[in-house]
Structure 1
């Protein structure tokens, strides 16, 4: 009996039942779709607050009410198409690449993954998603979100595809990668913290080890995901503000206000004060932790279906 129990320790099960990267990618993509549809208005408000240099918006509620009253409720879902596509692809790449990096960093003898290796896997996944997916999609999304009004005839950018074409024509291909440096710093740090924290909360709160066959209830996944998603926005606030400012400014031949990440940080600090580097923090906290809660609730259920089928097949 003791031998049987020893053979079922979480580390041994984790080594035996590693979840393949493609399943992680699928689970992340479905989670991204659900998250985008639920939380797009918060993202629009966050972007408007970060771009507001004149104090037009008095806070989250005032910003949302102003946008709704002057531009219509639909304006709160501006940029949904690139946002949903971006989240779907981002989470697929994030979850899949993180799983691949974790497999590479695992101890070849024991199959265990150290906290340092988990942190580095998350950081690597964040850097990859920032360069491949996040930056170009967020440039398009932010350009669409900063436009006021709903009449297509009065808008510079008519939609996601037109926006991307216009940016490439006026600013060159690399215009889609404006703000890449702060995006890399933000996403790398965010994902390093998020994957490490999510695993820690699953273990501490629910005694759940990856690959052990235990499937969390959706509410349990949401609690772990919510808690894991809180630290990143506080730590990376300046990178997010700078990223938004760099992505929003057009480079169609005129002089740009911000020359790069460091110059933008210095300029914002000098002109608007230290607190301006954390503009939009509250809506980020209203969006990212709930977003992680929604994403992990969906992803854990999909991964759980795979684990149940695996264990069922293995038992037979």
Structure 2
């Protein structure tokens, strides 16, 4: 293992240093820690929270890309945005892009918990001590990068569907998730499906900070209550820790979401993430990097709480059945 004990899937535990271990053997050891229960619990939590709170995600994205283009509807605030969409398009308008959002959130949360718990278990193999905060951070960042590689096309599709406006005289470009995936691939190739990937990779720091804070809060709280660090908590305790960790992560990393949404927007062309940053700073100042943050907090905080409570309870249930 590296000097700081970074939990890389190909690292070697301290007891086995100096002994050659093949990549195949390391991968076999890593996959021995993979549990489908974490995948199922994560998918369930992500899908439920997304179905409940998708309209707020739509509002957040529309504010995040509000760069003054004439084709975009003008909103005075969150409530005005919701009312305007409801009057123009009804409930269907508020759930525009929900299909890829459900797929994306379910897959992302499921894969994230799937990879994260496997990496944690691998890193703790042959160790008596708990993982440190930095090790939790690294494990979560690795899980986030692996998840993003698999799910970025879904997020591009969601953004494109959410940003179809009735005021756009070119008409509805995409009829649904599959239609959008096919058209983006045909018109823009693989590069189109991976727009926003670089800021998305930076965004893995968001999940890493959130999981680090969540793990540390759980462990410190259980120590305070003189319980095992992995002891099951009640729903209110999970809610509190999930909310605190999410607010901490969002307030630290939100600007990358604005950059990513603008790169994925079909109405404006940027040469890359640096071009988005320069133009946003020049035209809108620092405030431009935080557009939609309130809507985002109002959505992701309860979404995170729902996801983590569902995940923790379902994973405990499934794992206990296997014991």
TM-score, normalised relative to structure 1: 0.83
Q: Pick from 301, 305, 309: which aligns with 1:297? A: 309
Counterpart position of 1:92: 110
Q: Pick from 125, 130, 138: which aligns with 2:155? A: 138
Greater fraction helix:
1
3-state SS of paired residue (1:136): helix
CA contact (8 A) 1:41 1:77 kept: yes
Q: How does 1:1-316 map to 2 (within 5 A)?
A: 21-54=35-68, 56-106=74-124, 108-110=126-128, 112-133=130-151, 135-149=152-166, 154-186=171-203, 188-206=204-222, 207=225, 209=228, 211=230, 214-249=231-266, 257-306=269-318, 308-309=320-321
| TM-fit CA distance, 1:111 | 5.2
**Unaligned residue ranges in structure 2 (runs of 5+):** 1-31
Residues 151-181 of structure 1, C-alpha deviation per residue, up to 9 Å, x if partnerless? 9x94110111111111111111220101110
Change (3 A) 1:180 1:129: same
The 1-side partners of 2:315 and 2:64 are apart by 36
TM-score, normalised relative to structure 2: 0.82
The 1-side partners of 2:95 and 2:246 are apart by 23
**Unaligned residue ranges in structure 1 (runs of 5+):** 1-17, 251-255
Change (3 A) 1:150 1:260: closer
The 1-side partners of 2:217 and 2:74 are apart by 40
Residues 172-227 of structure 1, C-alpha deviation per residue, up to 9 Å, x if partnerless? 122010111001101x111111111112222334546554xx33222221221111
CA contact (8 A) 2:136 2:215 kept: no
CA RMSD of superposed structures (Å)? 2.3
CA contact (8 A) 1:202 1:209 kept: no
Matched residues, number:
284
The 2-side partners of 1:259 and 1:113 are apart by 41
CA contact (8 A) 1:32 1:88 kept: yes
Change (3 A) 1:122 1:209: farther
